[in-house]
């Protein structure tokens, strides 16, 4: 049974459709990334799953129960995007407070809090007031509170926002370690490079609708584009490859071969071997997750521009002079 599952999930705020029929499934122990521009519906989806917002349509289940079921929340950790912790707390007292709310015993809290703050890299500031923390430190302590009760599922809304590169690395390592222990992690993020490093699968939302979904390797693969590398000193006969009907482009130390419809790379490999060349590198080219994201949104912009161009094309109007006698008649 999936840990999180939605089918044709819809949510409206008045005339605004925040979710327009989202269907997805997240497995146990998976790190799942949800991408999209501001207003795409990412936070709304999390709020539906946690029961923070109601009035939705379709099906949504979390840990085998209908989304929003109260007793399920004790098995879930959550870091909202715009959290505001009471700044009179220290890092330690904040986790102690949240630990009490989550039903963690005092003995367990006393042992676990230093470990959690060490895990997110701010153990040396545990007794400093939250008001003295940088934005990145507040994010770290926020992640610690989401993990305080050892949840089975964690929802993180922009978890590395404002965190420096070292902090982002620490958080990545923490999440990957949790994954090893079977924890399911659901992430909303604008930092696509971070998502690409840790997520098993991602979905891209645009105006409440899912437009792409799948594992990162498959989504970022540039189908039909291969990078070829030969032994040092050897050169790919580009002109001859082109004569075979393939598109070949020299790069710095390798060559890119673009397959057209119906072609496969085997013929190029056979040709290279028949020429006595040593093939040392052959991989299907990938684009970054950021490139994919921009590509999906630029496609929409291009279509919108074309529609605008059609609207701006006005049929010429011929002016006709009307004489007074014609008007009277």
| Nearest alpha-carbon partner for 93 in 117, 120, 65 | 117
Indicate whether 68 belongs to any domain.
yes
Whether pLDDT at 220 is above 50: yes
Q: Are residues 107 and 55 in the same domain?
A: yes
Q: Are residues 92 and 37 in the same domain?
A: yes
**Per-residue model confidence (pLDDT) at position 317:** 36
Q: Which residue has the tokens 């890119």?
A: 256
Task: Report whether 190 contacts 158 (CB < 8 A).
Answer: yes
Q: Are residues 77 and 178 in the same domain?
A: yes
Q: Are residues 144 and 231 in the same domain?
A: no
More confident residue, 327 or 20: 20
Last residue of a domain, which of 175, 207, 239?
A: 207
d(CA 326, CA 329): 5
Indicate whether 8 belongs to any domain.
yes
pTM higher than the cut 0.85? no
The least confident of 23-37, 159-173, 300-314 is 300-314
Q: Are residues 162 and 189 in the same domain?
A: yes
306: left (phi over 0), alpha (psi -120 to 50) or beta: alpha
Q: Are residues 95 and 177 in the same domain?
A: yes
Indicate whether 101 belongs to any domain.
yes
Mean pLDDT throughout 260-283?
86
CATH of the domain at 125: 3.40.50.300
| Nearest alpha-carbon partner for 178 in 147, 145, 136 | 147
Q: Are residues 53 and 181 in the same domain?
A: yes
Instruction: Work out the pLDDT band at 119, boundaries 50, 70, 90.
Output: confident
- Overall domain count for the chain: 2
Q: Using one digit for the tens of pLDDT, what is the confidence trace for 288-305?
A: 677 777 777 665 544 444
263: containing domain: 220-286
Indicate whether 293 belongs to any domain.
no
Indicate whether 319 belongs to any domain.
no
Q: Are residues 167 and 243 in the same domain?
A: no
Alpha helix locations (H) across the chain? 42-50, 91-101, 106-119, 135-147, 165-180, 192-198, 216-220, 238-243, 266-274, 289-312, 324-328
DSSP three-state, residue 174: helix
CATH of the domain at 269: 3.30.70
Indicate whether 61 belongs to any domain.
yes
For the four alpha carbons of 262, 264, 266 and 267, in that order, the dihedral sign comes to positive
Name 238's Cβ contacts closer than 8 Å, sequence gap at least 6. 248, 249, 250, 255
Indicate whether 300 belongs to any domain.
no
Whether pLDDT at 324 is above 70: no
Task: Report whether 285 contacts 254 (CB < 8 A).
Answer: no
In a 10 Å sphere around its CB, with 0-12 CB exposed, 13-18 middle and 19+ buried, how is residue 289 labelled?
A: buried
Average pLDDT, the chain: 85
Last residue of a domain, which of 177, 207, 237?
A: 207
Indicate whether 22 belongs to any domain.
yes
Give the β-pairing of 4-13 and 153-157.
unpaired
**Per-residue model confidence (pLDDT) at position 325:** 45
Q: Are residues 181 and 230 in the same domain?
A: no
Give the β-pairing of 57-62 and 4-13.
antiparallel
Whether pLDDT at 309 is above 70: no
Instruction: Work out the pLDDT band at 223, boundaries 50, 70, 90.
Output: low
CA distances from 229 to 46, 56, 251, 289, 317 (A): 45, 53, 10, 24, 61
> How many beta carbons lie within 10 A of that of residue 51, not counting itself?
16
Last residue of a domain, which of 178, 207, 236?
A: 207
Q: Are residues 99 and 244 in the same domain?
A: no
**Per-residue model confidence (pLDDT) at position 314:** 44
Whether pLDDT at 191 is above 80: no
Q: Are residues 179 and 227 in the same domain?
A: no
Q: Are residues 267 and 141 in the same domain?
A: no
**Per-residue model confidence (pLDDT) at position 316:** 42
């Amino acid at each position: 049974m999936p840990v999180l599952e939605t089918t044709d999930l819809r949510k409206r705020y008045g005339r605004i459709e925040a979710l327009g029929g989202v269907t997805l499934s997240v497995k146990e122990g998976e790190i799942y990334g949800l991408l999209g521009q501001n207003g795409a519906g990412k936070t709304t989806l999390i709020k539906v799953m946690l029961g923070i917002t109601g009035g939705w349509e379709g099906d949504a289940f979390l840990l085998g129960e209908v989304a929003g079921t109260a007793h399920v929340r004790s098995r879930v950790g959550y870091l909202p995007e715009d959290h505001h912790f009471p700044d009179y707390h220290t890092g330690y007292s904040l986790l102690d407070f949240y630990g009490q709310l989550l039903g963690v015993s005092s003995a367990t809290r006393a042992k676990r809090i230093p470990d959690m703050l060490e895990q997110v890299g701010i153990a040396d500031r545990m007794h400093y007031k939250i008001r003295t923390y940088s934005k990145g430190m507040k994010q770290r302590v926020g992640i610690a509170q989401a993990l305080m009760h050892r949840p089975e599922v964690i929802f993180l809304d922009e978890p590395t926002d404002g965190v420096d590169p070292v902090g982002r690395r620490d958080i990545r390592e923490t999440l990957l370690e949790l994954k090893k222990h079977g924890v399911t992690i659901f992430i909303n993020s604008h930092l696509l490079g971070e998502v690409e490093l840790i997520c098993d699968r991602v979905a891209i939302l645009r105006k409440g609708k899912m437009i792409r979904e799948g594992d990162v390797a498959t989504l970022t693969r540039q189908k039909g584009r291969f990078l070829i590398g030969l032994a040092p000193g050897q050169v790919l006969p580009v002109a001859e490859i082109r004569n075979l009907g393939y598109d070949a482009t020299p790069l710095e130390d390798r060559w890119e071969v673009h397959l057209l419809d119906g072609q496969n790379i085997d013929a190029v490999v056979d040709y290279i071997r028949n020429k006595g060349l040593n093939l040392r590198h052959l991989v299907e080219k990938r684009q970054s997750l950021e490139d994919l994201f921009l590509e999906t949104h630029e496609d929409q912009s291009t279509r919108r521009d074309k529609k605008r161009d059609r609207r701006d094309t006005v049929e010429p109007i011929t002016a006709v002079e009307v004489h007074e006698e014609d008007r009277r008649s």
